[in-house]
Amino acid sequence: MQNEVLTVDQVDCCVVGGGPGGAMLALLLARQGVRVKLLEAHHDFERDFRGDTVHPSTQEVLEQIGLIEKLRALPHARVFEFPTHYADGSVSPPAASGVRSKYPHTLEVPQARFIELLVEEARQYPTFSIVFGARAEELIEQDGVVGGVRYRASDGRHEVHASLVVGADGRFSKIRQLAGFPLVGARAPLDVLWLRLPRTATDPERAHGIYLGADGFLVVIPRGEAFQVGFTFPKDGYTRVRAAGIDALRSRIATRAPFLADRLQLLTDWRQTTLLQIEIGRVRRWYRPGLLLIGDAAHVMSPAAGVGINYAIQDAVVASNVLGQRLCQGTLRTSHLAAVQRTRELPTKIMQAIQRQMQPRDDRVGHVSASMPMVVRLMRLPLLNQLPTRLIAFGGFRSEPVRELEVTPCPFRTLLRTAGAFVLDVISHLEPAYCMAFGLYPWPGTGDRHK
């Protein structure tokens, strides 16, 4: 009976994937009274070496939905700029932020804590539910329209029927595969090995940043008591890095960032490292009738500039703005899904073009390639040169405001709820005989009256 379906739920929207994009979308929809179910394949949100960068636009969104103080109460590091450290020991001068926002800095917040914050908030809304350990496996389709998903949990298979399925399941998106959307894009020239090394009280204030070396570069990101260190090497070179041994890795890290040499003896085992095969890609169409992709599922971002979270979250804000009330009212059309793609696609494409240029190539370490795309060259022109800053800080040309600041229940559902409450109220005042006659039971809390 492995294929028996144990439960069938009916909601307005089923979001697959509890990453930053999926969790934010579920929260924003629940605030509008949309019945939303979030499916997360893992049993918690713990994930190591993932994006922790909360950019200005994301902080603005959290302010709008009343969560900014709770965000600031989480363990975090403020990063005002990301210096470049050159091989000769010189460092780029502190860059002015240039970001016009109430929150001109980025916060490095452990991703698991950030998502927990969103989900805890979403739990305040009765129309929200989440299932952990729920791996989406199949789309439920009829006549080319997606009407839900089947997922597998530890006890077996379940179904969620929904007017809309949102694939927010990240770079290896199952929903993208099931929908038959191929990922297009160029291969990134580099891969990264992530590891963690402790911070010390004597580390310089601007110790973080990018360290350019002759054989590649190192990314050093402050993460609480530690630095997350990204050691880059040419694509598919992992077997060579492993074959050279851990001593060679230590010495290559020390060459690129000499200040880390005094703690590299702590790196003793490959299990302390995690390989990230960098991909940059996107799907040409983000939607089908009944289905939408957002975040990395629609556009796999490289870790360059740490923009993956704010792009996923801006997608979620736009999707919730465009779709929320329509889901409530049952007036959702495929053209509304297309509108989400139209709003978000261009900034994503430009940012990905920039990300490709931000990855120094083997023989041109630290230099911008002369073969950069036209779009990136244009951005060096006056007036346009503010664009990359905005694209990084805001996840788009501007930070998308959350339209629904207050819970605006659907008029139809409000009517139903009011009518339902009235009927139940009447029933609770009926004599037991009436209750018996209509097969109804005494209303909770009124038991004494019916003895």
Ligand X SMILES: Cc1cc2nc3c(=O)[nH]c(=O)nc-3n(C[C@H](O)[C@H](O)[C@H](O)COP(=O)(O)OP(=O)(O)OC[C@H]3O[C@@H](n4cnc5c(N)ncnc54)[C@H](O)[C@@H]3O)c2cc1C
Residues that bind ligand X (CB under 6 A): 16-22, 39-42, 49-53, 134-136, 168-171, 174, 194, 276, 295-297, 301, 303, 306-309, 312
What does each C-alpha distance from 250 to 22, 207, 209, 228 come to in angstroms?
Answer: 37, 18, 18, 15
Residue type, 393: A
Nearer to ligand X, 33 or 388 (CB): 388
Residue 246 C-beta: closest distance to ligand X, Å: 20
Residue 322 C-beta: closest distance to ligand X, Å: 18
61: nearest Cα among 441, 340, 393, 438: 393
Residue 277 C-beta: closest distance to ligand X, Å: 9
Residue 83 C-beta: closest distance to ligand X, Å: 16
Give the gyration radius of the chain's Cα atoms: 25
Nearer to ligand X, 301 or 328 (CB): 301
Structure tokens at 436: 């018996």
- State how far the Cα of 218 lies from the Cα of 231, in Å rounded to an integer: 5
Residue 291 C-beta: closest distance to ligand X, Å: 14
Nearer to ligand X, 168 or 322 (CB): 168
Q: Which residues does residue 16 pair with via DSSP β-bridges, in sequence order?
A: 39, 167
Structure tokens at 101: 């926002």
What are the residues whose beta carbons fall under 8 Å from the beta carbon of 135, sequence distance 6 or more? 39, 41, 151, 152, 153, 174
Residue 276 C-beta: closest distance to ligand X, Å: 4
Nearer to ligand X, 33 or 290 (CB): 290
179: nearest Cα among 282, 280, 288, 283: 288
Nearer to ligand X, 195 or 376 (CB): 195
The torsion angle over the Cα atoms of residues 438, 443, 447 and 451, rounded to 10 degrees, is: -10
Nearer to ligand X, 33 or 167 (CB): 167
